[in-house]
A and B are shown apart, each in its own frame.
Chain A
C-alpha cells in the first residue's frame, strides 16, 4: 500500500511518522505527494517501520487497486491455495510460514489464504501434552507410523518453547521421529512458541486448516505439558490426550491437576522393561481416582490406557479408543458443536491479539498506553481506571 494509505489506516500523523524516520515533516509530505522519491536508506527504514507494508514499489508504481493486497500478492496466494489442495509440501510449508509471520503484509496474505481454504470435517485433531521426557515425540513416531500403515495421512504440529532471554529456540522433535519424518504420507512441522502463548494457539489453529486442506486426516498438536498453552490447545482439538510417566503423582510429574481434568484420554507411557509394573500401578490408580478425571465432554468418560512406544505395545488400544470417541461424538453431534464453539473462541483470541498488534504498530497509541502503564507501575493509577482510560481512548479513535 502507499504511504498515505498506511498513515491513514493506522491513524499516524505525518509529524509523528517523520520523527520516527528522522526526517523533516516537509520532506515526508514530498514523499507522500510523490514530488520526491525517498533515498535508499529512508526506503529501508519505511519498510521496517511499516512492517513491509510500504515498500519501494509503492513509491514507483501507481496503484489502481484500493485493496491492500497487490495483484501479485493475490496471485501468489491463489497459487499457494491450489498447490496446497494438491498436497504440495513446499507450498504447505510456505503457507505455515506466512501464517506464523509477524509481518503485517503476511497477515493480510494469510487472511486471504485462510478464507480460500476448504473446511474439512472428516479430520481428527488430536492434542497431546505431557512433561518433557514423557516420550510424546516417540509416541507420535510409533503411533503415527501405525496410522500411516493403515492408510491415513498424518501430520504433526509441535510447539517448542522459545527462550525468554534470547527469543531463540531449539526444535528437535524430528530427531525422535526418524521414520515418520521421512514418510511420504506424513508432514511434521515444529514451531517456536515465540514466547506468546495466545499467539501460538491462533497460528496453530490456522496451520491446522492448511494441513486439512492438503488432505491430512489425522493432525497431532504436541505441546509441552506445563503451562497455559494446554488450554489453548484443548480449544482446537477434537480429543485431548495427556501423557504420563509410570508412577508418581501429578505434582511429581509437574502436570497441573487442571490439565489432567481436561484429558479425554490419559496414556501412561513407557510401560516396558523395569517400568511395566509401575505403569500398571499408575494406570489403575488413575482409573480409580474418578475425582481427578472429570468428564468434560458429553456422553464420554475419559479412559486411562498404558503403552510402550518402544515395544509398540498398547498402540492399537489407544487408536481404538480414539476411533470410538470420535464416532460417539460425531453421532451425538458434540464433535461439530465443539468445533463450532472453538471457532467462536478463536474470534476472541484473534481480537485479543489484533488489539495488541494494533497498539504495537500504532506509534501514538503505543506511547499513550505506555504512559498509562507507567502510571500504574508508579502507583499513580489503579488497574481499573487505567483499563477504562485505555478503552475510552481506543474507542474514541
Chain B
C-alpha cells in the first residue's frame, strides 16, 4: 500500500518538475517499438518474459560460464587483413606483441566471391578490404611464424568458405598442426549473406548443403573449432534495429540446427560449437539487454531439440563495435563512440571483442589508430574493475525489463518467420531484407531531420576540418604480385593431379560426398580458390540476386523543415527546363556487396522526387556506363565502401567517354578518404559525399550540378 502511495507522490513531483501533467509524452519510443518509461521500479520485475537465473547454468541469461571475466577477461580479437598475406602477417604479429589474444582474418572481396586475383571481374577488388588469398601458398605466408596449435583464428568467410577453410586446414598441416588441434571460428553463415551482406556465390540450396558439410566435417574431425558464427552484425550494419538483429539471427541459427540434424548429427555433438556474432551500437542499455535476451532465447530454442548436455544451450558470442556508428565528420569522436560500445559489449557478457579504429569511416586503420582501438579494450579490462563482478547489471529494474521487452518483441518477429515456413523461405520471399531496409530508411530520415543526434554530424559541427593520417593500399601493386604468384604456382604443380581433384570436387558437388574433405586434398595439391569455386559453380551455378527495393518509407519519416519544399521548387524548375525529372543511376561496382548505402540513396532520392535507376550488384564500370547510356540518365551515383573507387571511377570515366556519354555527370558517395577527393575531382567527378551526408541537402546540390 505504502509503495503505491509513494509512487503516486513521485508522479506528482515529476509532473511538477516537468511542468507537464501528462507523463506519457516523456516516454521514449525506441525504433524497436519498445516504450521506455522515464522510471522503472521493482514492479517492473514482476511479469518478465525471461528467467534471470545464474551464470553458467541454463537458461544462461547471465552468461555462458559460471565465473565469466572474474576468471579470465574476454578475448581481444581484432579483425584485420589487407593487401598481401605478408603485409597482413606483419600486422598480426605487431598486434600479438601488444595485447591482441586471437586473430581475426579479413579477406578481400575477390576471395570472398571465389575469384582468383587474375580474374577480369575483380580488377579493383584485389587486396581491398582484406587480404588476397588465392591458394594454400598465400595461407602459409599469412600464418608464417604464428603457431596455429596455440593461436585461435577466426575467419570471416561465407561465399568461398570451402576453399578458404580447406586452405587453412591444409596450411595447418603443412605447419605441423593436425586439424584436431586447430582452434577458432569460421563464419560460414550464408543465410545472412542472402539477407544483407551479399557475398554469396551459389544459390541458397547448395549453399545450405555446404554449411551442413562443414558442420558435419568439423564436428567429427575438429573438436576445438567453431563450425559457424551466426551473425547479426551485418544486419545492424545494414540498418536493422536491435530486435530485428536478434530475431533474424536466432532464426538463422535454428535453420542451421535443422540442417545439421537432417544430416544425422546429434545435437550435443555440434550445438556447443555454434557461436554468435553481434554488432554493438550506441544504444547502450538496449545492446546489453539484447545480449542477455539472446542467451535466454537461444537456450529456449535449443531445448526443443532435446539436448542432454547443458553446454548445447549456452550461447557464446563475439562482438564488434558498430561500423555504421563511425562518422567521417569529426572523426576523433569515433574513439569515444567505440569506447561506449565496447563497454556495452562487456556489460552484456561477450566472449571476444573487436573494437573499431576511429578512422575506419575513412579508410583502413593505421598502426596508430589500431593501437588506440586495442588500448580501449585493455583499459576497460585492466583499469576499470568491470571484470571483478559477473553480469553487474542483473536485477536492474530497467535492464531486466528491457531484456524482457526485447524477448517479447523478437519472438513476434520469429513467429512471422515460422509462419512462412522458416528462414530460407522468408529470405526467398524477401521479408527480412524488406524489414531491415525499412528500418534503415527510417533511421536516415530521423538523422536528416535531427530527431536523432550525432555529434559533429547533424549537431555541434566542427568549424575546422582535422587532417587525419590514413593508410591507403596500392591495389594495382597487390594485384600484380598476386598474379605473378599464381603464375608460379601454376607452373610448379602437376596439372593432371589438379585436374583430377577438380573433377572430384565436381562429382562431390553433384553427389553426396563431403565437399570439405575433398577440398582439403585439392588445396594441398595446389588447386586455387578460384579453381575450386568454378568447379563447384559448374554444378551449382552462380546465384543472382533479385534486388527488391522499398519506397515511401524515407519520405514519410522525414520531418518537413522547409528543405522538402525547397527541393520541390528546384525539381519543378528542373522539369520545366528538361521535360523530365532528374534521373540518376545508382551503381555499386566491383565485388563489394554491402548495398545499404546504395539502397538508401535509391529509396531516399526516389522519395524526394528523383527517378532512380539501380544497377545490378557486382557490375563492371563498362556495364555501368552502358546502362547509364541506355537509360539516358543525367547522373551516375557511385556508391563505394571498399576502397575500389581509385580503380573503378577512372575506368567508369573512360567507359563513359568510349560510349560517347561524357555529358553524364558522375558523383561518388561512401567511405572515401579525404585525400582521394582531389583525385576524384581531377578525374571529372562532380561531387563527393562522405558518410553522414544529409540526403535532402545532397539532393539540392545534385540538382544544382545538373
Q: How far is the CA of A129 from the CA of B349 in the complex (A)?
A: 53
B608 at the interface (CB under 8 A from A): yes
B208 CB to closest chain A CB (Å) equals 13
Contact: B606 with A168, CB < 8 Å? yes
B311 CB to closest chain A CB (Å) equals 35
On chain B, the residues within 8 Å of A174 by CB distance are 613-616, 627
A190 at the interface (CB under 8 A from B): yes
Within 8 A of A (CB), among B568-622: 571, 573, 575-581, 602-603, 605-617
B500 at the interface (CB under 8 A from A): no
From B122-130, B326-334, B476-484, B539-547, give the one contacting chain A: B539-547
Give the interface residue-count category, chain A. 35 or more
Contact: B602 with A170, CB < 8 Å? yes
On chain A, the residues within 8 Å of B544 by CB distance are 176, 178
On chain B, the residues within 8 Å of A89 by CB distance are 626, 629-630
On chain A, the residues within 8 Å of B617 by CB distance are 175
B503 at the interface (CB under 8 A from A): no
Within 8 A of B (CB), among A64-89: 89
In the complex, per-residue mask of B514-552: 1 if CB is within 8 Å of any chain A CB, else 0: 000000000000000000000000000000111111011
Contact: B577 with A47, CB < 8 Å? yes
Contact A168:B546 (CB < 8 A) given known A101-B580, A175-B616, A181-B627: no
On chain A, the residues within 8 Å of B9 by CB distance are none
B220 CB to closest chain A CB (Å) equals 30
A103 at the interface (CB under 8 A from B): yes
Contact A181:B616 (CB < 8 A) given known A93-B631, A176-B547: yes
B632 at the interface (CB under 8 A from A): yes
On chain A, the residues within 8 Å of B660 by CB distance are 90
On chain B, the residues within 8 Å of A178 by CB distance are 544, 616
A104 CB to closest chain B CB (Å) equals 9
B661 at the interface (CB under 8 A from A): yes
Contact: A188 with B630, CB < 8 Å? yes
Q: How far is the CA of A96 from the CA of B583 in the complex (A)?
A: 14
Within 8 A of B (CB), among A156-182: 162-163, 165-172, 174-178, 181-182
Contact A192:B547 (CB < 8 A) given known A101-B579, A102-B579: no
In the complex, per-residue mask of B366-399: 1 if CB is within 8 Å of any chain A CB, else 0: 0000000000000000000000000000000000
On chain B, the residues within 8 Å of A52 by CB distance are 576-577, 579
Q: How far is the CA of A137 from the CA of B546 in the complex (A)?
A: 9
Contact: A166 with B607, CB < 8 Å? yes
A187 at the interface (CB under 8 A from B): yes
On chain B, the residues within 8 Å of A101 by CB distance are 578-580
B44 at the interface (CB under 8 A from A): no
In the complex, per-residue mask of A252-286: 1 if CB is within 8 Å of any chain B CB, else 0: 00000000000000000000010000000000000
On chain B, the residues within 8 Å of A187 by CB distance are 630
B144 at the interface (CB under 8 A from A): no
B550 CB to closest chain A CB (Å) equals 9
A365 at the interface (CB under 8 A from B): no
A231 CB to closest chain B CB (Å) equals 24
Contact: A170 with B606, CB < 8 Å? yes
A356 CB to closest chain B CB (Å) equals 16
Most-contacted residue by chain B among A51, A174, A177 (CB, 10 A): A174
Give the nearest-CB partner of A92 in chain B: B630
Chain B interface, number of residues (Cβ within 8 angstroms)? 45
Contact: B631 with A171, CB < 8 Å? yes
Select A48's contact among B547, B577, B606, B609, beta carbons within 8 Å: B577
B73 at the interface (CB under 8 A from A): no
Q: How far is the CA of A168 from the CA of B616 in the complex (A)?
A: 20
A338 at the interface (CB under 8 A from B): no
On chain B, the residues within 8 Å of A171 by CB distance are 611-614, 631
Contact: A175 with B661, CB < 8 Å? no
Contact: A182 with B546, CB < 8 Å? no
Give the nearest-CB partner of A94 in chain B: B632
B678 at the interface (CB under 8 A from A): no
B582 CB to closest chain A CB (Å) equals 9
Within 8 A of A (CB), among B4-34: none
A327 CB to closest chain B CB (Å) equals 31
A106 at the interface (CB under 8 A from B): yes
Give the nearest-CB partner of B610 in chain A: A168
In the complex, per-residue mask of A188-212: 1 if CB is within 8 Å of any chain B CB, else 0: 1110100000000000000000000
Give the nearest-CB partner of A141 in chain B: B544
A138 at the interface (CB under 8 A from B): yes
On chain B, the residues within 8 Å of A172 by CB distance are 547-549, 602, 613-614
Contact: A163 with B629, CB < 8 Å? no
A157 CB to closest chain B CB (Å) equals 11
Q: How far is the CA of A308 from the CA of B609 in the complex (A)?
A: 36
A230 at the interface (CB under 8 A from B): no
Give the nearest-CB partner of B614 in chain A: A172
Contact: B577 with A189, CB < 8 Å? no
Within 8 A of A (CB), among B63-110: none
Q: How far is the CA of A93 from the CA of B610 in the complex (A)?
A: 19
Select B551's contact among A47, A96, A170, beta carbons within 8 Å: A170
In the complex, per-residue mask of B647-683: 1 if CB is within 8 Å of any chain A CB, else 0: 0000000000001110000000000000000000000
On chain A, the residues within 8 Å of B602 by CB distance are 170, 172
Select B546's contact among A93, A162, A176, beta carbons within 8 Å: A176
Besides the contacts A51-B579, A90-B660, A96-B632, what 16 more A-B pairs have beta carbons closer than 8 Å? A48-B573, A90-B661, A97-B632, A103-B578, A138-B546, A165-B556, A166-B555, A166-B606, A166-B608, A169-B612, A171-B631, A172-B547, A174-B615, A174-B616, A175-B547, A182-B626
**B residues touching A (Cβ–Cβ < 8 Å)?**
205, 544-549, 551-552, 555-556, 571, 573, 575-581, 602-603, 605-617, 623, 626-627, 629-632, 659-661
Residue contacts A-B, CB under 8 angstroms, 23 given:
A47-B577, A97-B632, A100-B579, A101-B578, A163-B607, A166-B606, A166-B607, A167-B581, A168-B581, A168-B606, A168-B607, A168-B609, A170-B612, A171-B612, A171-B613, A172-B548, A172-B549, A172-B602, A175-B545, A175-B547, A175-B614, A188-B630, A190-B631
